[in-house]
Chains A and B, each alone.
Chain A
Amino acid sequence: MSVKTLTIDNQLISAREGETVLETARNANIGIPTLCHLEGLSTVGACRLCLVEVEGVSKLLPACVTVVQEGMMIQTHTERLQHYRRMIVELLLAEGNHVCAVCVSNGNCELQDLAVEMGIDHVDLTYQFPDRKVDISHARFGIDHNRCVLCTRCIRVCDEVEGAHTWDMAGRGHTAHVISDLNQPWGEASSCTSCGKCVNACPTGALFHRGSTVGEMQHEREQLSFIMTARQQQQWVR
């Protein structure tokens, strides 16, 4: 396997061929914020938080889907990028109904972490306050569309890891939302195996265990990464 040498944030780094910029940066302890990316799932490059500047390329490139090339000169934390990232998180906060004070994931939320990291203490944009639903028809889990950021992690984990494909995205634009089967209540979706992987994949409190109250909902990412790598690495015991 050939080795590619590149520069990230003025740091000389070697990467394996075929690796993405995100993987390489994370291996070198350079943090690039992400939201729709989840280790072990396919990448969609939807959230645009991992955009980086590559010398010689006029466009910004998403690090999660950009493959490393020899001699790349990458900047991950320029002022422009930080401005855009902050804007993206502000847009996400204004688009849904994100009220941390009453959220089950308060303190365990990737959106909240991003906002804290970027020092977002207020949002300049007009809040949309969309009229969205909560579905607690499932016996063990619930989905609150108010807190959904449409990252499609639940859709991908259900399709690629569990193989059930209960979830998908319906509608478009501001009416886009996650659906189970034929837009049925989750409890009536016959393809659902109640495995709970989507709940563990959710970055916010949109998918939660029923009965959890403010700040109680913890996402077990370890369970997910264990399932995803168990067969590959033949590590059957956690």
Chain B
Amino acid sequence: MTPNNTVVQAPPANDKRLRLLEATMKRHQYRPDALIEVLHRAQELFGYLDIKLLLHIAQRLKLPPSQVYGVATFYHFFSLAPKGVHSCVVCMGTACYVKQAAQLLSFLEKETGIQVGETTSDGQLSLMTARCLGACGIAPTVVFDDQLEGHQTVESVGERLNTCLGVEA
């Protein structure tokens, strides 16, 4: 059996983020059941979980690669593709939903040309949804780059999207 690393190269060992990840794994004594904590840390450090990074974690924690991939794809929190520079999260909670959040989302999807959960091809924007942000009083809400905006309409959300992306309207 050829070892896996001949097929997929692990990230370079001199990467500082890798050393930080190694420290996290060491703190958990490389226990296989610390997989989720390690994946959390890896996503925090790298922004997303690259396939090579998953293989690296699998080897260090002595887990089958398929199991690591399975866990990483089961939870919505983990992303296997790089996130955009800017982010836009539409709240789809009950209050926002009755205040036409779905229309806002479909407008944003049409405007950006991507589906929810995707990132634009230039890597500038990621479009996401949230279950509920807990700000139901100012529904419908949209979060642009970690900044919460309430009482959104199709017009205001379009404007806000342009300022977020730095486009002159």
- A contact set with B: CB distance below 8 Å: 159, 164-172, 179-183, 188-191, 193
Instruction: Tell me which residues across on chain B come within 8 A of A167, comparing CB atoms.
Output: 66
Given contacts A182-B54, A182-B55, A190-B7, contact A170 B69 (CB under 8 A): yes
Interface residues on B, range: 10 to 19
B73 interfacial contact with A, CB 8 Å: yes
Mask of B70-102 contacts with A, CB within 8 angstroms, 1/0: 100110000000000000000000000000000
Q: B66 to A166, Cβ gap below 8 A?
A: yes
Q: B2 to A190, Cβ gap below 8 A?
A: yes
Q: Is the interface of B mostly helix, strand, loop or mixed?
A: helix
Instruction: Tell me which residues across on chain B come within 8 A of A165, comparing CB atoms.
Output: 64, 66-67
Nearest neighbor of A188 in chain B, beta-carbon distance: B7
CB < 8 Å: which of B7, B8, B54, B66 contacts A180? B66
Given contacts A188-B7, A190-B2, contact A182 B70 (CB under 8 A): no
B51 interfacial contact with A, CB 8 Å: yes
Instruction: Tell me which residues across on chain B come within 8 A of A159, comparing CB atoms.
Output: 64
Q: B65 to A182, Cβ gap below 8 A?
A: yes
Q: B66 to A179, Cβ gap below 8 A?
A: yes
Q: How far is the CA of A182 from the CA of B2 in the complex (A)?
A: 15
- B contact set with A: CB distance below 8 Å: 1-4, 7-8, 51, 54-55, 64-70, 73-74
Given contacts A168-B64, A188-B7, A191-B65, contact A179 B70 (CB under 8 A): yes
CB < 8 Å: which of A164, A168, A190, A191 contacts B70? A168
List the 9 shortest-distance A-B pairs measured between CB atoms, nearest first: A168-B66, A165-B64, A168-B70, A170-B73, A181-B65, A182-B65, A170-B70, A182-B69, A168-B67
**Minimum Cβ distance to chain A for residue B52 (Å):** 9
Given contacts A182-B51, A182-B55, A190-B7, contact A168 B69 (CB under 8 A): yes
Instruction: Tell me which residues across on chain A come within 8 A of B67, comparing CB atoms.
Output: 165, 168
Q: How far is the CA of A94 from the CA of B43 in the complex (A)?
A: 37
Nearest neighbor of A193 in chain B, beta-carbon distance: B1
Instruction: Tell me which residues across on chain A come within 8 A of B68, comparing CB atoms.
Output: 182
Nearest neighbor of A168 in chain B, beta-carbon distance: B66
Instruction: Tell me which residues across on chain A come within 8 A of B2, comparing CB atoms.
Output: 190
Q: How far is the CA of A189 from the CA of B1 in the complex (A)?
A: 11
**Minimum Cβ distance to chain B for residue A155 (Å):** 8
Nearest neighbor of B70 in chain A, beta-carbon distance: A168
**Minimum Cβ distance to chain A for residue B42 (Å):** 15
Instruction: Tell me which residues across on chain B come within 8 A of A171, comparing CB atoms.
Output: 73-74
Instruction: Tell me which residues across on chain A come within 8 A of B54, comparing CB atoms.
Output: 182
Nearest neighbor of B4 in chain A, beta-carbon distance: A190
**Minimum Cβ distance to chain B for residue A161 (Å):** 14
Q: A172 to B66, Cβ gap below 8 A?
A: no
Name 14 interchain pairs, CB-CB below 8 A, sorted by A: A159-B64, A164-B64, A165-B67, A166-B64, A168-B64, A170-B70, A179-B66, A179-B70, A180-B66, A181-B4, A182-B55, A182-B66, A182-B68, A183-B73
